[in-house]
Structure 1
Amino acid sequence: MAFGLEAVSPVEFVLNSPRVENFNSNTSQEGLNFHNIFLEEVRDEAAAKVLQHQERTAAYFNKKVKVKRFLIGDLVLRESAASQPTVTGKFKAPWEGPYQVTDIVAPKTYRLAQLDETPVKNTWNGIHLKKFYQ
């Protein structure tokens, strides 16, 4: 078997199928050469379509995302599933806290501390936080 070619079964040789009878090696080779010449163009078109689809999908997803921004000193709750993913249960509290935002490391990435100003070990993405109201 070769790339781009169809296999011919032994039965087709014995019974002289139309595909075997009408086979011409010159036109077949010309067709393969023509296919190989335009193969890069077909790949480029496919890559462009994939990129366009990814952009449309990202735009559809991003229009539904609500951006949460917190300031230093804000009180927030932290998602329990993000901090302890292995601990699950029906009666587990979905949020932990409150915590205080002590530093903005990057956009939507925060460093937290407990209310007694003990720092929390990791940085936290804003999608795992929500504002705490007293």
Structure 2
Amino acid sequence: MGKSKSLILVQGIKKRLDRARGTWVEELTSVLWSYRNTPGGSTGESPFTLVYGTEAIIPAELGIPSHKILHFDEEHNSQLLKENLDLVDELRETAFIRTQRYKSMMINAHNKRVKARHFQVGDLVLRRIDMLKPVGKLDPKWEGPYKVTKIIGNGAYKLEDAEGCVLNRPWNIHNLRRFYS
């Protein structure tokens, strides 16, 4: 299960638990049902529609006589379901194309905000302190300066400290910042 899907489910469960008080297991099925029948932002279709080729009837519609329920014709409904199943591959393909377009838009939006950074051999940089060690709120997040000794490629650099000791591994540009002296 993806991170964003888990987050949406947890938020849905929290909203329902305010009323249910601790019985989240019983609420999980209704939250999942709600999620599966809500159209996705990138696909424009609900997961239920992409799987079954038709929209689900909301449980509230079963209890309250609606137009769908009052004018239900099983034979006509079966015919429409067969037609929808013939079109479900086209629906999925359209959703896939929308998802690709959505990803492309997100990448372009991200790339507009990102400033390209490049260092040359001899530049002084700060490196991010390893987060494996516990760092307090007010402790420094960067250490250095270090000198760039070699450009490895793909944003990776070899560094040496002020005493001339070369660091044992390359550092990615995301963990480096220019040092202004």
- Mark yes or no: TM-score above 0.5: yes
Q: 2:148 aligns with which of 86, 101, 105?
A: 101
8 Å CA contact retained: 1:112, 1:120: yes
Amino acid of the structure 1 residue aligned with 2:139: K
TM-score under structure 2 normalisation?
Answer: 0.57
8 Å CA contact retained: 1:68, 1:127: no
Q: 2:102 aligns with which of 53, 61, 70?
A: 53
CA positional deviation for 1:90 = 2.7
Partners of 2:120 and 2:98 in 1: CA distance: 41
CA positional deviation for 1:75 = 1.3
Amino acid of the structure 1 residue aligned with 2:106: T
Equivalent residues in 2 for 1:1-134 (5 A)?
Answer: 19=69, 22-25=72-75, 27-80=76-129, 83-134=130-181
Bigger fraction of residues in strand: 1
CA positional deviation for 1:72 = 1.4
Amino acid of the structure 2 residue aligned with 1:92: D
The count of residues paired between Structure 1 and Structure 2 equals 122
Bigger fraction of residues in helix: 2
- What does the per-residue CA deviation read over 1:16-40, in whole Å, with 9 as the maximum and x for residues that have no partner? xx84884333x22221211111101
Change (3 A) 1:19 1:39: same
User: What secondary structure sits across from 1:121 in the alignment?
Assistant: coil
Partners of 2:118 and 2:168 in 1: CA distance: 21
Amino acid of the structure 2 residue aligned with 1:74: D
User: What secondary structure sits across from 1:63 in the alignment?
Assistant: helix
Change (3 A) 1:114 1:38: same
When Rg is computed on C-alpha atoms for both structures, the one with the higher figure is: 1
- What does the per-residue CA deviation read over 1:53-84, in whole Å, with 9 as the maximum and x for residues that have no partner? 1111111111111111001121111122xx23
Listed as ranges, the gaps of 5+ residues in structure 1 are 13-17
Partners of 1:22 and 1:73 in 2: CA distance: 77
CA positional deviation for 1:48 = 0.9
| RMSD between superposed Cα atoms in Å | 2.7
Listed as ranges, the gaps of 5+ residues in structure 2 are 1-51
